[in-house]
Structure 1
């Protein structure tokens, strides 16, 4: 049937893409005077209830995630002909597949893109969803004043973690799908990690890691792909081994989680050195089985201890964390326990300062004068870039709240918003930053002419607000 010129309040401008089940149009939201993307179920599937269900399920999955790095769903409806549609963030910068075809990408640009896609996956996983079809065509770019931003799209194969804890039907794109997904095994976050590694390989080299054209061929993969340096000379050995570990066919030999992969990729790029402790997981020491008197509460309490490790000691720290996670898995009951451990906030305390943070913020720095506390994914990079998740708490002298502040490096100065926090006067500054982060900084008036300063950097709005609100000082 012919495409109507409009659907509801959205006037269709031109078709920008089409797949097996849906067509995507550039459209204009006439009420908001804004460009959007409208994804419409293809007319030949209108009578297929299962396809309609999957189409709407994708919209529900996307609505669960509020992330800069996942395409947002703004509206869902039904056209006059009965076809369901959803209104999405318009990606005006094309796809990663387009950029790979156009020619070699700069190494730093690939690291930035993979980091942003990885953050999108982290946010999906935190909401209980696996993507299952991460590939260059599903990485879109949206431009804003700070530059372009990579976003994950197309959750047509997305599954909730509850569903993938059971045997699932094979699916995915052969060049980028994890072998265990093709075999229909029970899946976890490592399936998306593998696909992200495959996307990184393609972005660095211009071609996918394996020349496979069918799902059956994926099942024959037994070793990591050839070195990327054989395809592109300027790729360092450090980056090569980091990416290829993500592509281990045996998921137990891959990176432990997305943060491990992304942090190692960043370190390999910035230092040019192979990250310490880069060994297959199978070579890590096997932790002892926890004794009967070690219960789950005790294990979780142990996991709440934040640590600071100098780079040369990172390999030992990584082995300790891997061993601890295995203990927690045994105590908490498999993958469900893993989800509990990674998503449950950690209470960090120091010198009367306290804050609850995501568990992957595993480094902290303390300063007695003030006092002050920094908890982050990388304390060493906190002063270099706002593209690092974390929180800083400090007590400073001040008889009144500041009206202006010095924003973090590269961020824009803004006016503060007056607030009341537990009957105390406060001011909040929201700094837009080139990295895509929105940095929150709050000052709370304390007794005795002091201020509590709290600065939070996180591209996940929910995490950012919860960390900010949890910060406290009890003199």
Structure 2
């Protein structure tokens, strides 16, 4: 990856990390003589309106909360190609993922660190926000003096207000740290999902090598906890972590504050009280490498906005055309004045591991996602999505939190039975239409997201009628 020389007014020094949804660069602010982290939306997601919404929502949320335990946002901007970027405070002492890779963290330090993380997540919970992706890569450290540091909670791009965190929100989270209900489209996701993630972080920090059991299937109802921690960890901490990672949300602590208090009580007997971490210098080196082999855990770290589930996207290639446009097994008839560009459906792969086809069409297809004034549409075809859900179920994952939906309707166009949900929005694009149907000849889901030029169903139905699949 070639580093850009500048992003907005900031000189780019080096790459900090690459995730599924964004790239993070270290930049230099010459006016303030300070370094910053610049998060740029990945090019292959630039056409996805929902991912753009999440990306910008993270910056707005961090700005609104403005707390010392959360990563701070300075400003947002847009690249010449229309992709948004956010300028964040630089966490100059790295992440928890880095420290775990360097070696085992002493139990007393790890327990205090877990308390600091709980305290940071409790800030979110007090404001009615669920993070939903608490992983070692999302726990950062920033210098606050020559010998002190602050623990920061980062990457809130998947966080949602509690009012929206229900079965109608998109699946999100990292396997190994994601609560079981986050993989159920019909479940309610609330603060207890974060409690589960915090419990898994605690296990990663404190479990013996190798751990003897997975707490995801262990319930704290009678008997001794089935989780073996290191010898220097207070025995009562195991019971706290087992309860935090109970399979059923009702059996967990209600929120991060309650988990913090339980850890404090468990650690008090040994003089290890979480939540008031002592000033610490850079992470020590030379310790025995910590080998976590939690059964069934897959650790996936995303630098920027992480998530599970399908989203359309892709910068694409190919020359815009008029009349009709074809890419792979997708063909569309273009409305007057529109052109198209070929893309792939980011995150979607067929049985052979190849990206599944998609396209973007608009009067200016390469500007459509960035310019709310432009009408346009994303069209994608996915066998992988059809294998896991129905058209109605897929649309239920793709609600727009700041918009009001009309009742779902069905229409049959070009041999496809479409389910259509139209949204009216107070901010940004005034109308967004989500539609999905099944391929008439094989097991594949056809998805079309439309920002129409008018408020009639006639345009939407006409566009759907022009979608052909082979």
TM bin (shorter chain): 0.5 to 0.7
1:223 to 189, 196, 218: 218
On the 8 A contact 1:63/1:73 being kept in 2, the answer is yes
**CA shift digits 1:346-395 (9 cap, x unpaired):** xxxxxxxxxxxxxxxxxxxxxxxxxxxxxxxxxxx9xxx9949xxxxxxx
Number of the residue aligned with 1:412: none
2:202 to 175, 200, 203: 200
On the 8 A contact 1:181/1:191 being kept in 2, the answer is yes
* Secondary structure of 1:162 counterpart: coil
TM superposition shift of 1:137: 1.0
**2:275, 2:226 → 1: CA distance?**
30
**1:105, 1:90 → 2: CA distance?**
23
> Aligned pairs, how many?
275
**1:43, 1:201 → 2: CA distance?**
35
Q: Map 1:51-66 onto structure 2 (within 5 A).
A: 51-66=51-66
**CA shift digits 1:282-307 (9 cap, x unpaired):** xxxxxxxxxxxxxxxxxxxxxxxxxx
On the 8 A contact 2:105/2:205 being kept in 1, the answer is yes
TM superposition shift of 1:273: 9.8
**1:8, 1:207 → 2: CA distance?**
47
**2:53, 2:207 → 1: CA distance?**
38
**CA shift digits 1:18-56 (9 cap, x unpaired):** 101111011111110011100011222223323222211
Could you list the runs of 4 or more consecutive aligned residues of structure 1 that deviate by over 4 angstroms after TM superposition?
206-212, 224-229, 385-388
Provide closer, same or farther for how the CA distance between residues 18 and 94 of structure 1 changes in structure 2, counting only shifts above 3 A.
Answer: same
Number of the residue aligned with 1:443: none
Q: How big is the alpha-carbon RMSD for the aligned residues of Structure 1 and Structure 2?
A: 3.2
Number of the residue aligned with 2:268: 270
* Secondary structure of 1:164 counterpart: coil
On the 8 A contact 2:119/2:275 being kept in 1, the answer is no
Provide closer, same or farther for how the CA distance between residues 204 and 85 of structure 1 changes in structure 2, counting only shifts above 3 A.
Answer: same
Q: TM-score, normalised by structure 2?
A: 0.53
Provide closer, same or farther for how the CA distance between residues 27 and 271 of structure 1 changes in structure 2, counting only shifts above 3 A.
Answer: same
TM superposition shift of 1:78: 0.7
**1:255, 1:4 → 2: CA distance?**
46
On the 8 A contact 1:201/1:228 being kept in 2, the answer is no
Provide closer, same or farther for how the CA distance between residues 190 and 207 of structure 1 changes in structure 2, counting only shifts above 3 A.
Answer: farther
Number of the residue aligned with 2:454: none
Gaps of 5+ in 2: 281-470
Number of the residue aligned with 1:258: 256
Q: Map 1:14-163 onto structure 2 (within 5 A).
A: 14-145=14-145, 147-163=148-164
On the 8 A contact 2:143/2:149 being kept in 1, the answer is yes
Q: TM-score, normalised by structure 1?
A: 0.53
> Quick check: which one's helix share is greater?
1
On the 8 A contact 2:108/2:233 being kept in 1, the answer is no
* Secondary structure of 2:99 counterpart: helix
Verify: 1:237 aligned to 2:226, yes or no.
Answer: no
Provide closer, same or farther for how the CA distance between residues 229 and 128 of structure 1 changes in structure 2, counting only shifts above 3 A.
Answer: closer
Number of the residue aligned with 1:168: 169
On the 8 A contact 1:104/1:205 being kept in 2, the answer is no
TM superposition shift of 1:113: 1.7
TM superposition shift of 1:110: 1.4
TM superposition shift of 1:228: 7.9
TM superposition shift of 1:241: 1.2
**CA shift digits 1:243-265 (9 cap, x unpaired):** 22111111211123322221221
1:246 to 241, 244, 247: 244
TM superposition shift of 1:64: 2.2
TM superposition shift of 1:208: 11
Gaps of 5+ in 1: 213-217, 275-380, 389-432, 436-475
* Secondary structure of 1:64 counterpart: helix
On the 8 A contact 1:26/1:36 being kept in 2, the answer is yes
TM superposition shift of 1:87: 0.6
Segment drifting more, 168-177 vs 21-30: 168-177
Q: Per chain length, whose mean CA-contact separation is higher, i.e. which structure has more relative contact order (CA < 8 Å, sep 6+)?
A: 2
On the 8 A contact 2:25/2:38 being kept in 1, the answer is yes
